[in-house]
Amino acid sequence: MNILLYRDLSPEQVTRLGRDFPSMEFRQTTRRDDLAPDWAEVIFGNPPADLIAKLSRLRWLQIVSSGFDEYASLRDTKIVVTTAHGVHAPIIAQHALATILWFVRGQPHLAERQRAHVWDRRPSIPQDLARQTVGFIGYGEIGRALARMLAPIGPRLIAVKREAAARPAELAALSTLDGLDELLAASDHVVMTLPLTPQTRGLLDATRLAGMKRGAVLHNVARGGLVDEAALLGRLTDGSLGGAALDVFAQEPLAADSPFWDLPNVMVTPHLAGHHRDLGISTLERFRANLQRYRDGRPLLHVADFSRGY
Q: Count CB atoms within 10 A of the CB of residue 163.
A: 7
Q: At what angle do helices 279-296 and 11-20 cross, to 10 degrees?
A: 20
276 is catalytic: no
233 in Cβ contact with 258 (< 8 Å): no
Provide the 3-class DSSP secondary structure of residue 115. helix
Catalytic residue among 109, 144, 271, 275: 271
- Non-local (6+) Cβ contacts of 292 within 8 A are none
CA angle (182, 183, 187) in 5-degree steps: 125
| Beta strand residue intervals within the chain, DSSP E | 2-6, 25-28, 42-45, 60-62, 80-82, 133-137, 156-161, 173-176, 189-192, 217-220, 243-246, 266-268
113 is catalytic: no
What does R_g of the chain's alpha carbons equal in angstroms?
22
What is the C-alpha separation between 196 and 216, in angstroms, rounded? 23
User: Using CA of residue 100, residue 106, residue 107, residue 112, what is the dihedral sign?
Assistant: positive
1 in Cβ contact with 23 (< 8 Å): yes
The gap from C-alpha 192 to its chain's centroid, in whole angstroms, comes to 9
275 is catalytic: no
Catalytic residue among 85, 208, 223, 302: 223
Q: Is 92 exposed, middle or buried (0-12, 13-18, 19+ CB in 10 A)?
A: buried
Q: How far is CA 183 from CA 138, 191, 202, 257, in A?
A: 12, 11, 17, 33
Catalytic residue among 252, 293, 298, 308: 252
- Write out the catalytic residue numbers: 223, 252, 271
